[in-house]
Amino acid sequence: METEGKIKTGIFGGSFNPIHIGHLALANYLCEYSELDEVWFLVSPHNPLKKQTDLWDDNLRLELVKLAIADYPKFRASDFEFHLPRPSYMVNTLDALQAAHPDREFTLIIGADNWKLFPRWYKSKEIMARHRIMVYPRPGYLMEQENLPPSVQLVDTPQLEISSTFIRRALSDGKDVRYFLHPAVYERINKTP
């Protein structure tokens, strides 16, 4: 796999239900302190390992990502998975992205909690064989680089313990959590009927 001269693009997939400052700070850190040139926020229409019951509308989640990243040129919002067969499996997404963008080298960005589940991912060995993976720390999940396959890199990033579940619960309880969200996202959520 020839990677010389390609744009190093991190793929940060998730439901972003909603996107919050933890997502943004992590991706910002990776753009500024790792070899990545940019990060694409890949909004997933449905994670095969998660229940879909409390998932906000696909287009609203995509809109919120676009609002959150509008001022930072190294970020891109992507609805690529919206146009793939469902459920969307990351191996298919990464292969399709690589075919659609041969000028880029894609690196999958996942948390240490997801790395623990990675053997359960559909065709996880094929993902490791064909793509790079960047794993960021999560509390309670100790990892060491020497125990990882060659295509997997452990990155030491700041940890902000904020979850989209916490945000949704706080909003439904009428809490003012504006500082956990990008201001444009907070404003848009408050306009949602």
The sheet carrying 7-14 orders its strands as 75-78, 38-43, 7-14, 104-111, 132-136, 152-154
| pLDDT at site 49 | 58
Using alpha carbons only, how large is the chain's radius of gyration in Å?
16
pLDDT at residue number 65: 98
Q: Which residue has the tokens 């190294």?
A: 74
Are 44 and 81 in contact by the 8 Å Cβ rule? The answer is yes
Q: How does pLDDT run along the chain (193 residues), one tens digit per residue?
A: 556 789 999 999 999 999 999 999 999 999 999 999 999 999 998 655 566 568 899 999 999 999 999 999 999 999 999 999 887 899 999 999 999 999 999 999 999 999 999 999 999 999 999 999 999 999 888 888 888 999 999 999 998 889 999 999 999 999 999 999 999 999 999 886 5
C-alpha 13/C-alpha 73 separation (Å) is: 18
Which of 3.60.15.10, 3.40.50.620, 2.40.160.60, 3.20.20.140 is the CATH number of 7-191?
A: 3.40.50.620
pLDDT of the residue at 2: 59
pTM of this prediction? 0.91
Residue 191 is predicted with a pLDDT of: 84
pLDDT of res. 136 = 95
Collapsing DSSP to helix, strand or coil, 51 comes out as coil
